[in-house]
Amino acid sequence: MSDSKKFSKLSAKAKNSLIAKMSKSGSGGGDPRRVPSRRSPVAGIHDSMCDFNQLPGYKELKIHQTIAMQTGIMEPYFLCHDGLAKGTTSIGGEEYLNFSTYDYLGLNGTERLNNAACDAIKRYGTSASASRLVSGERPPHRELERGLADFYRTEDCLVFVSGHATNIWTISQLLNRNDMIVYDALSHNSIIHGAKMSGATRIAYPHNDYDALERLLAENRAAHKRCLIVTEGLFSMDGDLPDLPRLIEQKSRYKSFLMVDEAHALGIVGKTGHGVAEYFGVDFNDVDIWMGTLSKSMCGCGGYIASRKAFTEYLKYSAPGFVYSVGMPPALAATSAEALRILVEEPERPARVQELGRFFVQEAKRLGLDTGHGQGYAVAPLIVGNSLVAGLLSTAMHKRKVNVLPIIYPAVEDSAARLRFFLSYSHSKEQISRALSIVAEELPKVRKLATSFSDESASK
């Protein structure tokens, strides 16, 4: 008779006695019928550990929301737009001037893009239905990738279903604990998280400070196998450009890879919108990795890596964010491919956005407003120097039917809090002038209000 059958025939009293002996002797091999020790294994764990309301981050969020409510700052996020968000938008049935759209080239909702999406849906449906590795590969994916590779004059390109994930999985797949990554201090969250996940030594250099980068490379490069230098083609918070020629020189001298995130530069920077390489007149292949997103000028969703074929092929078979993720919906791939064609065919679009960017800076300075490092592109910051002021000013702008969001601490230093304007081909100079005039009128009022709040808090 087997041991299990013998055990089942014992009386309850005998079973308990046997289990107790086994527990004392330390034998039993983890038998599921073991009596637990008298002290509960969770005796010292508080019930709050199973309560979402007690998560430290959530409690901090509620504190910020309470303070905002007490100071009269509206919740500026997750506003529901009734239709297309162009130069103007409808929120709650009312029209607003809109400076919170990534539709830089004004292509979203155009007939050509709508037709491209609808044709792809009719042929391929609304989903790739699987990872591309398994059975999600469709012709629009390779059409888009070939178009982007040609655009950047690289050997190949790979598109991911998420722009944020593109940076995370590309960086973490390229580097490991024997390597190092050096990135601009104002780099996007996705770059920083990709660096963390890689396990490589992480070093941030002060924004666009290439003397500091030189020192860091001289001090640290020799101690690591591979090195990756990362910058942005157009910085998403400040609207300025990197010194690409100097970065190329430094990466070559220190035998490093250079990666440029063109999320906000594609279609915006350079005479014909070909990005920061076109702006500086450098060889595109002097940059090892071109990264960008498809949710802005390309009116879709996801991200891309344009590089050597060896690298894109490696990512295609190894990057978890690609291998284990569903493929990009074919309709979005077809839409972005069509947007890329329009960009190439209509260089007047980036030229128009650049004209509006220069006008924004000139008009803001005329009104005594601080545009920070902004160089006159689609990303146009107005620095107000205090998170409370930024929140109050965004609220005041909303009341006057202008939709523009604040960027506050910890996204930026409190002293660098701002309103961030996104400029589009759909905007007019008159709309920009009107919005900036309202800022000039409201800013002194909200600064006075913020001071009164601060004084009141200090007196308590």
List the chain domain ranges. Answer: 64-98+348-459, 111-345
pLDDT tens digits along 18-50: 444 444 444 444 454 555 557 788 888 888 899
Buried b (16+ CB within 10 A) or exposed e, 42-58: eeeeeeeeeeeeeeeee
* CA–CA dist 205, 165 (Å, integer): 23
**Range 111-345 has CATH code 3.30.465.10:** no
pLDDT tens digits along 256-314: 999 999 999 999 999 999 999 999 999 999 999 999 999 999 999 999 999 999 999 99
SS3 percent helix, strand, coil of the chain, rounded to 5, is: 50, 15, 35
* CA–CA dist 95, 352 (Å, integer): 24
pTM for the model:
0.87
Which positions ≥6 away from 340 have C-beta within 8 Å?
Answer: 144, 147, 148, 151, 298
3-state class (DSSP) for residue 342: helix
- Strands lying side by side in the sheet with 257-261: 156-160, 303-307, 289-293, 257-261, 227-232, 180-184, 201-205
What pLDDT, on the 0 to 100 scale, is given for residue 33? 52
Tokens of 222: 């020799």
| 460 residues of the chain, pLDDT tens digit each | 444 444 444 455 554 554 444 444 444 444 545 555 577 888 888 888 998 999 998 888 888 888 788 778 888 888 899 988 899 999 999 999 999 999 999 999 999 999 999 999 999 999 999 999 999 999 999 999 999 999 999 999 999 999 999 999 999 999 999 999 999 999 999 999 999 999 999 999 999 999 999 999 999 999 999 999 999 999 999 999 999 999 999 999 999 999 999 999 999 999 999 999 999 999 999 999 999 999 999 999 999 999 999 999 999 999 999 999 999 999 999 999 999 999 999 999 999 999 999 999 999 999 999 999 999 999 999 999 999 999 999 999 999 999 999 999 888 889 999 999 999 999 999 999 999 999 999 999 999 998 887 766 666 6
3-state class (DSSP) for residue 176: coil
Specify the CATH class of 64-98+348-459 in words: alpha beta
E strand spans, 294-350: 303-307
Residue 202, beta-bridge partner list: 181
Instruction: Quote the distance between the C-alpha of residue 398 and its chain's center.
Output: 25
Tokens of 56: 């430290």
Q: What is the dihedral of CA 155, 161, 163, 166, to 10 degrees?
A: -60
Residue found by looking up tokens 């100079």 in the block? 429
Residue found by looking up tokens 């220190």 in the block? 254
What pLDDT, on the 0 to 100 scale, is given for residue 455? 67
What pLDDT, on the 0 to 100 scale, is given for residue 72? 80
* CA–CA dist 31, 34 (Å, integer): 6
E strand spans, 257-325: 257-261, 289-293, 303-307
* CA–CA dist 116, 68 (Å, integer): 43
Q: For 442, left (φ over 0), alpha (ψ -120 to 50), or beta?
A: alpha
